[in-house]
């Protein structure tokens, strides 16, 4: 068997004849072996050029991914946004070159932010050459918003798996709502490749448990069982019987004893596709860096480049030219076009024709699908937003939040979500006619029951939102700690996920420090691309929803109170519509020229207003500002920010029954931030508020001290 001829001027071989190939079992057709080794060598060369990355897993999994894409994946490279496409999630994102190679070799096309094809490849050979470099479409781990064909950002292990559960749930919901006899618009499958690290992370167990309960038979995880992590062999820390664990979750479990055996892989994929009553886990035994003669079965092949000498030896083993780098032989792209390309083109053509007929037969539903797919809202989405009358007793913002949520969701049919077993407390159950619960027997239900699985809930909400549903997840603010990884990925992907967190301060009382959030809001505010809203009353809740629903690239956190809050009389005080600018004046000095400014959020706004009245009786000119969303206020022009917080007014006091971290930005060097510097305590709410200084008299006293200090410094 002769070697492949090396072309002199391009990355494509010039001979039209088949190339001899090695490094794959002899029963694999030569052209398939050529495709598999192209994936492997592109991955090796890209990691070596970057001088960082993980070549071993792409090399070992090349046959696994190739067989899936070439023979089973229903995906159109020429139309990567076809709504009924299968979703492929590479959960072990460190193997990103596996996916980048596939996107390049299948000629997947790029799509812009307006969902239009650009006429350019999603991943060019130059992108692969720039792997892990600035502004490449091949970043260190796959990123959703950078590269068409990447369904979700992965990297933190286990997140991709949990996100894929959200995608599978979305398909089931879409099918239940929109499919009609003769019009099976939504029937796609979700395939995810994962590794030992994904299986070790707790989030995957949470998600797998829920997927088994929901009998998501459209979901298949392919587990690369190679026994290697960064530190070495998995026996250092891990000896789970994964198959038995997943049988316990209610999954169908299959095993492929050799990652290079395309026939076994083919049979496993077919069995997964034929399973109708449960999700499937395929355990694939592989050797990391398969085909690299000296580094296979080592962690080095997993976590660092092979080195030039090792690459030359490996390519020789494959009967591959050492140069040029990034070599794609003739026939490889054509082979992909005859498989996944042809199958995908048929899928897109059939779906377009079916949807055109569906639009005539079911125009209302077709309009909904078009609006949902382009993230547009129904024209009347805000028609039922409530206005709450002034009320000294008022209501907890979690209660008004539930009322507003129901008003919005009733007008946005593709809004779905739920809580981590806390809907009775978070008040996030949708109760209008036709909602129901999303269960294996009723996939059209809009209330999701995530169980006590906060981390998985966040990732599942990402998967639902990536599928173009408008998803929300709810829980207690303190448990946002359990969700931070998923929320961070929501932000990285610019997804309009809505996280509703209640019991937002020490005001929850007797549950004590373990349940009283202190630092959580500060951490969420510090996260780029997250808007954190802490509304002061029921009408601010309404305005929060009015503000955030039209946003299509913005993660939103709503922090709502457990305790009742007065509904502010808007005939006397500033209009709640000021929420749309992040902060606004609620109550001002008579001449509009204050000597002192209170800045409050949430439950502390009315506290500031009460302290304001005490000081006003003493002749002190005070302004009270409600700042429900610091980030949104920061985005306003300088003139507006100065109109709310005049730079000339140095006496400023912020009040928030949470950590004071970050408030120095608004109160300045001369001001004071009233908040929590401990983890709280267990006691009734009024006892706690008194102990920690959240009473009008205590706030007024702190304000007098600030004003005196500022006046003293100005006379020096």
- Residue 151 among the catalytic residues: no
Q: What pLDDT is stored for residue 304 in this prediction?
A: 78
Residue 226 pLDDT level (bands cut at 50, 70, 90): confident
Where does a domain end: 533, 566, 599?
566
Q: Which two tokens stand for residue 415?
A: 């809004």
- On whether residue 591 sits in a domain, the answer given is yes
* Per-residue pLDDT reduced to its tens digit, 637-664: 999 999 999 999 999 999 999 999 999 9
d(CA 374, CA 134): 29
- On whether residue 562 sits in a domain, the answer given is yes
- Are residues 677 and 552 located together in one domain of the fold? no
- Are residues 105 and 172 located together in one domain of the fold? yes
Helices (H) and strands (E) in the chain, counts: 26, 22
Instruction: Give me Rg for the CA atoms of the chain.
Output: 29
Per-residue pLDDT, averaged over 591-606, amounts to 98
Q: What pLDDT is stored for residue 113 in this prediction?
A: 84
- Are residues 560 and 631 located together in one domain of the fold? no
Per-residue pLDDT, averaged over 542-549, amounts to 98
Q: What pLDDT is stored for residue 644 in this prediction?
A: 98
Per-residue pLDDT, averaged over 387-404, amounts to 98
* Per-residue pLDDT reduced to its tens digit, 123-154: 999 999 999 999 999 999 999 988 999 999 99
> Nearest Cα to 699, choosing from 649, 655, 645, 652?
655
Computed over every residue of the chain, the mean pLDDT equals 93
- Among the options 143, 454, 543, 631, which is catalytic? 454
Q: What are the percentages of helix, strand and coil residues in the chain, rounded to 5? A: 40, 15, 40
How is residue 183 annotated by DSSP?
B
- Are residues 561 and 593 located together in one domain of the fold? no
Q: Spell 667-704 as b/e; 16+ CB within 10 A means b.
A: bbeebbbbbbeeebeeeebeebbeebbbbbebbbebbb
Q: Which two tokens stand for residue 351?
A: 């779906």
Contact in structure between 34 and 332 (CB atoms under 8 Å): yes
pLDDT exceeds 50 at position 12: no
Q: What pLDDT is stored for residue 302 in this prediction?
A: 52
Those residues with Cβ within 8 angstroms of residue 665's Cβ, 6 or more apart along the chain or in another chain: none
- On whether residue 504 sits in a domain, the answer given is yes
- Are residues 200 and 75 located together in one domain of the fold? yes
- ω before 493 within 30° of 0 (cis)? no
* Per-residue pLDDT reduced to its tens digit, 142-185: 999 889 999 999 999 999 999 999 999 999 999 999 999 999 99
Per-residue pLDDT, averaged over 614-641, amounts to 98
- Domain tally, the chain: 3
* Per-residue pLDDT reduced to its tens digit, 549-562: 999 999 999 999 99
Strand pairing report for 584-587 and 622-626: antiparallel
Q: What pLDDT is stored for residue 227 in this prediction?
A: 83
Contact in structure between 517 and 478 (CB atoms under 8 Å): yes
Domain extent for 289: 30-347
- Are residues 334 and 419 located together in one domain of the fold? no
pLDDT exceeds 70 at position 534: yes
Where does a domain end: 292, 318, 347?
347
* Per-residue pLDDT reduced to its tens digit, 483-510: 999 999 999 999 999 999 999 999 999 9
- On whether residue 187 sits in a domain, the answer given is yes
- On whether residue 352 sits in a domain, the answer given is no
Strand ranges inside 122-271, DSSP E: 190-195, 219-225, 228-229, 232-233, 252-256
pLDDT exceeds 70 at position 299: no
d(CA 146, CA 133): 13
Q: Identify which has the larger pLDDT, 57 or 299.
A: 57
* Per-residue pLDDT reduced to its tens digit, 353-381: 999 999 999 999 999 999 999 999 999 99
- Are residues 537 and 624 located together in one domain of the fold? no
Those residues with Cβ within 8 angstroms of residue 461's Cβ, 6 or more apart along the chain or in another chain: 166, 417, 471, 472, 473, 486, 490, 497, 499
- On whether residue 538 sits in a domain, the answer given is yes
Q: Identify which has the larger pLDDT, 400 or 232.
A: 400
The model carries a pTM of 0.94
Q: What pLDDT is stored for residue 296 in this prediction?
A: 43
d(CA 498, CA 556): 5
- On whether residue 364 sits in a domain, the answer given is no
- Are residues 558 and 641 located together in one domain of the fold? no
Q: What pLDDT is stored for residue 284 in this prediction?
A: 97
Q: What pLDDT is stored for residue 27 in this prediction?
A: 59
Residue 25 pLDDT level (bands cut at 50, 70, 90): low
Q: What is the CATH number of the domain that holds 667?
A: 3.40.50.920
- Are residues 172 and 313 located together in one domain of the fold? yes
Q: Identify which has the larger pLDDT, 305 or 3.
A: 305
- Are residues 184 and 225 located together in one domain of the fold? yes
Where does a domain end: 566, 599, 625?
566
- On whether residue 221 sits in a domain, the answer given is yes
Q: What is the CATH number of the domain that holds 143?
A: 3.40.50.970
Those residues with Cβ within 8 angstroms of residue 255's Cβ, 6 or more apart along the chain or in another chain: 243, 268, 282, 283, 284, 285
- Are residues 478 and 605 located together in one domain of the fold? no
* Per-residue pLDDT reduced to its tens digit, 95-115: 999 999 999 999 999 999 888
Q: What pLDDT is stored for residue 715 in this prediction?
A: 77
* Per-residue pLDDT reduced to its tens digit, 661-684: 999 999 999 999 999 999 999 999
- Are residues 330 and 479 located together in one domain of the fold? no
Q: Which two tokens stand for residue 198?
A: 């994904």
């Amino acid at each position: 068997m002769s070697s492949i001829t090396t072309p002199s001027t391009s990355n494509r071989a010039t001979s039209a004849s088949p190339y001899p190939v090695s490094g794959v079992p002899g029963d694999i057709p030569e052209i398939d072996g050529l495709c598999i080794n192209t994936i492997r060598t592109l991955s090796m060369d890209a990691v070596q050029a970057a001088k960082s990355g993980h070549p071993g897993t792409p090399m070992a999994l090349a046959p696994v991914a190739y067989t899936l894409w070439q023979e089973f994946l229903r995906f159109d490279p020429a139309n990567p946004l076809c709504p009924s496409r299968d979703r492929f999630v590479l959960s072990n994102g460190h193997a990103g070159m596996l996916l980048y190679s596939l996107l390049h070799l299948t000629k997947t096309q790029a799509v812009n932010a307006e969902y239009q094809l650009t006429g350019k490849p999603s991943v060019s050979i130059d992108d692969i050459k720039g792997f892990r470099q600035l502004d490449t479409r091949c970043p260190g781990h796959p990123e959703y918003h950078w590269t068409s064909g990447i369904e979700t950002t992965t990297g933190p292990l286990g997140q991709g798996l949990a996100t894929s559960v959200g995608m599978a749930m979305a398909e089931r919901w879409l099918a239940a709502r929109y499919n009609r006899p003769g019009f099976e618009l939504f029937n796609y499958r979700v395939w995810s490749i994962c590794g030992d690290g994904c299986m070790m992370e707790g989030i995957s167990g949470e998600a797998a448990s829920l997927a088994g309960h929901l009998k998501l038979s459209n979901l298949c995880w392919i587990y690369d069982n190679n026994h290697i992590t960064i530190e070495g062999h998995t026996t250092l820390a891990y000896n789970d019987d994964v198959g038995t664990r997943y049988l316990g979750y209610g999954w169908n479990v299959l095993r492929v004893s050799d990652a290079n055996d395309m026939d076994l892989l083919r049979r496993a994929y077919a069995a997964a596709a034929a399973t109708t009553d449960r999700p499937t886990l395929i355990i694939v035994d592989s050797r990391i860096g398969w085909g690299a003669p000296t580094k296979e079965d080592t962690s080095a092949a997993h976590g660092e480049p092979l080195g030039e000498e090792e690459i030359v030896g490996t390519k020789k083993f494959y009967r591959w030219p050492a140069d040029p780098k990034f070599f794609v032989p003739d026939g490889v792209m054509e082979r992909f076009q005859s498989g996944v390309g042809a199958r995908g083109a048929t899928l897109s053509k059939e779906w377009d024709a079916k949807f055109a007929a569906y639009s005539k037969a079911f125009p209302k539903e077709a309009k909904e699908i078009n609006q949902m797919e382009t993230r547009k809202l129904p024209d009347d989405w805000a028609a039922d937003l409530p206005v709450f009358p002034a009320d000294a007793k008022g209501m907890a913002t979690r209660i008004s939040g539930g009322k507003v949520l129901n008003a919005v969701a009733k007008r946005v049919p593709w809004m779905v979500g739920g809580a981590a077993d806390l809907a009775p407390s978070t008040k996030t159950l949708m109760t209008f006619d036709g909602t129901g619960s999303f269960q294996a027997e009723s996939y059209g239900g809009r209330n999701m029951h995530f169980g006590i699985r906060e981390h998985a809930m966040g990732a599942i909400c990402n998967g639902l939102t990536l599928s173009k549903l408008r998803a929300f997840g709810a829980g207690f603010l303190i448990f946002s700690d359990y969700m931070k990884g998923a929320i961070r990925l929501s932000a990285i992907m610019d997804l309009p996920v809505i996280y509703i967190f209640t019991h937002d301060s020490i005001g929850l009382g007797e549950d004590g420090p373990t349940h009283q959030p202190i630092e959580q809001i500060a951490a969420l505010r510090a996260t780029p691309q997250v808007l954190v809203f802490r509304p002061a009353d029921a009408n601010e809740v309404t305005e929060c929803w009015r503000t955030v629903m039209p946003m299509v690239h913005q993660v939103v956190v709503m922090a709502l109170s457990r305790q009742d809050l007065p509904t502010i009389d808007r005939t006397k005080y500033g209009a709640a519509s000021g929420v749309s600018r992040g902060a606004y004046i609620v109550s001002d000095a008579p001449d509009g020229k204050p000597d002192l400014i209170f800045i409050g959020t949430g439950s502390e706004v009315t506290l500031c207003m009460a302290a304001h009245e005490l000081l006003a009786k003493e002749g002190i000119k005070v302004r009270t500002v409600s700042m429900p969303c610091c980030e949104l206020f920061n985005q306003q022009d300088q003139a507006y920010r100065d109109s709310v917080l005049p730079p000339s007014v140095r006496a400023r006091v912020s009040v928030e029954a949470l950590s004071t971290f970050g408030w120095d930005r608004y109160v300045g060097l001369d001001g004071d931030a009233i908040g929590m510097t401990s983890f709280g305590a267990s006691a009734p709410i009024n006892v706690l508020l008194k102990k920690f200084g959240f009473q009008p008299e205590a706030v007024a006293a702190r304000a007098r001290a600030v004003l005196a200090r500022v006046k003293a410094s100005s006379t020096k």
